[in-house]
Structure 1
């Protein structure tokens, strides 16, 4: 393994972790009873929670393919989560074997699975950095060992920002990262909203809060604000299941907005 960052920390199995709960929603096996318990509590409130997780993952796949077609072959994926195939690097490197991908997360269980993340093509580079998303300058410093920030990079913040409140620096986090990118780079972002099912979302936020996890729901305009100064790709800020998806499942919008913006 060639990942960088501090050594793995103790994995606390007495409290749920967002990455493991998300893994449970996706049908993964890298979670614990406490994560399943919270997942089931959320599902009891919102039966579409697992569908939303799958739709969010599918959005990442489509956005990655779209940017690969735009000629982007460097990706910085922050808030990686537990590996679920196909991973971002598998999509990008299948089209461009020499693509370079850096994954970033601060969850020790993700570090434990970093070996799976790092199985890229011989021609490309797939790296893992253990760092906190709230320290973007440290992320940029470590990612610069792999990525050339003088050339376009796709910055991927998938299902990350609803864990960072505005007062905790969400906009500063995004602007610091985007400012470091070359013209022609892209921001790919998805985050939770209460625009469609406000009551269910509020109950879900309360369930997470009871287990010590803070969540923030944002309106469409609040999500669009993260793209200020960028050119949004069509169709703009939309529910993740409809972003360039020709055949939505017809079950109604999921409570996650997604969008892709280009830095001029």
Structure 2
């Protein structure tokens, strides 16, 4: 048994790595543990640039939120939000619109604890401790009911989370159960790991993640488009993350497929 620090929230499994805590490590954060760092180092042997991949995905989140704000969205639901780091949704949105409302959802106790601390003095943002697959619980949470007006458009962020939802969990139904609660004109920001290129490396990563608390499922571009079939995709559609509305030519990688992740933003008709 691994001895748990006194400050650690109840329910944290330190015997297995957590995707949220590994992602925190890739981004240079400090809210991770030895089991996460050892796992992350194994991933780095497969993908030495995994930190850059994580940063690239985070940059897509920033661009997607800004796009939504620029198009009149002032309320956000961030699913599988993870451990707070620089450039959280409320920071991006409220920098432009201080009255923007943001609800975060995660089931990882460390992510929840640190988010609650960070948001303690922010009346327009809150954390819901729930599994994003439990859609009814997410929408019934007091924080969601208080902050989000579902009669008006909402931007839902599913960034780097749905590849942790296996086919047995009916991912398309999960997406549909969220979008059917939203008003017309709502948006969905979405990113997902794929094996369309660099398949051998990705399969090795899948094997590693099979031993974590968050097994990984690769999906093709066509499968990602299928998950978003109820939405009108914003130009340029489903593309590798460096290609989704880059802010400068330097943002576009020489080989965008090396990012491993597809990204898209869709609008609900």
TM-score higher than 0.5: yes
TM-superposed CA distance for 1:51, in Å, is 1.3
Within-5 A mapping of 1:50-129: 50-118=51-119, 125-129=124-128
Deviating beyond 6 angstroms after TM superposition, the runs of 4 or more aligned structure 1 residues are none
Of residues 252, 256, 263 in structure 1, which corresponds to 2:255? 252
TM-superposed CA distance for 1:161, in Å, is 0.3
Inter-partner Cα distance in structure 2 for 1:116 and 1:234: 37
Query: Which residue is equivalent to 2:139?
Result: 140
Q: Deviations over 1:107-135 (max 9, x none)?
A: 100122023441675xx610110000110
Contact 1:14 1:34 in 2 (8 A): yes
TM (normalized to structure 1)? Answer: 0.92
TM-superposed CA distance for 1:242, in Å, is 1.6
TM-superposed CA distance for 1:225, in Å, is 0.9
Query: Which residue is equivalent to 1:4?
Result: none
Q: Deviations over 1:85-109 (max 9, x none)?
A: 1211011011111110000001100
CA-based RMSD of the aligned residues comes to 1.4
TM-superposed CA distance for 1:11, in Å, is 1.8
Inter-partner Cα distance in structure 2 for 1:98 and 1:173: 29
1:263 is the counterpart of 2:268: yes
How many pairs does the alignment contain?
A: 255
The answer for unaligned runs of 5 or more in structure 1 is 1-7
Q: 1:87 to 1:199 in 2, by over 3 A?
A: same
TM (normalized to structure 2)? Answer: 0.91
